[in-house]
Amino acid sequence: MAAAGSPRIDAYAVLSDAPPTDRVAIAAELALSDRDPPLDCPAYRAALRKAVSEEPPPFSTEAYAKIYRDSSVSGKWLAISLISNAQREGQGAGDLWTLAACADNEAERQLIKRHAVDESRHARLYLALLDLAFPDAVDPAFRKELDVVSPGFTMAQEPSVVVGSPYATRPTIDLYVQMNIAEIRTTIHHLLQRAALALHCPAANLPRATKVLDSLFRDELSHVSYTAELIETKATAAGPGGLDGLYRRRLADFNRITNDEFGMTIHD
């Protein structure tokens, strides 16, 4: 983060200009530096960089970006993708709400709760992007049904276990590592999504769509930073060793899932 009185770093521009293969580490650095005061998290930084060097993530390659760009030329594909994102965010909000209810540390509880509220709002924001990019393209009755994907959580509410959620468990460093990787992937995805929406969104709606995208991007960086902070705290409490291997294993798992989604191995 810039020093007091200095202009704030344009994180989106920095990440956009970075080579695809560098974006995972850069997204993490931008997230840590955007906190006030900036976070150090040396164990987390080292584990992430080592994992990326040993298990290069396919979602941070030009090959992956090309697949996304080619797919998003289709307005139908992009509209379905926005709906899927809304559904995932709504489901994620419920899982985080459950996890927050199970946290035995009040500081963690509040951080996870904030994340759940963000994702609940994100479900609505993705639907707003759908409306802006493809006005009147979705059947009104179906569009009304989609509004239920957001659980509507607020910070004024008390977290509780959501029926059916698999996250009724005490939060662990393993879960935070998985969350951190997922949030970095989503941050990088915003670069691709923004360019895709520009292809389809009516010019009159694009400024509003950009504001929505900016809000989503800022939130993703915040989620990367808070999970990094919790990873660092728990790694320090556990003593030396372990984090490097855990982060590498979870990144490898995430890479396999990404490759399986495409039915191929993505590489540069």
pLDDT tens readout for residues 33-48: 999 899 999 999 999 9
| Preceding peptide of 56 cis, ω within 30° | no
Contact yes or no for 23/196 (Cβ under 8 A): no
pLDDT, position 240: 67
Residue type for 68, please? Y
DSSP state of 147: G
pLDDT, position 263: 58
Give me the residue label for tokens 């493809």.
134
Q: What confidence category does residue 2 fall into, taking pLDDT thresholds of 50, 70 and 90?
A: very low
Tell me what the pLDDT averaged over the chain comes to: 92
Task: Name the more confident of 259 and 207.
Answer: 207
How far is the C-alpha of 55 from the C-alpha of 78, rounded, in Å?
29
Kindly tell me the sign of the dihedral angle through the C-alpha atoms of 212, 218, 224, 229.
Answer: negative
214 CB contacts (<8 Å, ≥6 apart)? 12
Which range, of 31-35, 87-91, 202-206, 262-266, averages the lowest pLDDT?
262-266
> Mean per-residue pLDDT for 173-192?
96
How many other CB atoms are found less than 10 A from the CB of residue 76? 9
pLDDT, position 260: 85
The answer to whether residue 238 scores a pLDDT higher than 80 is no
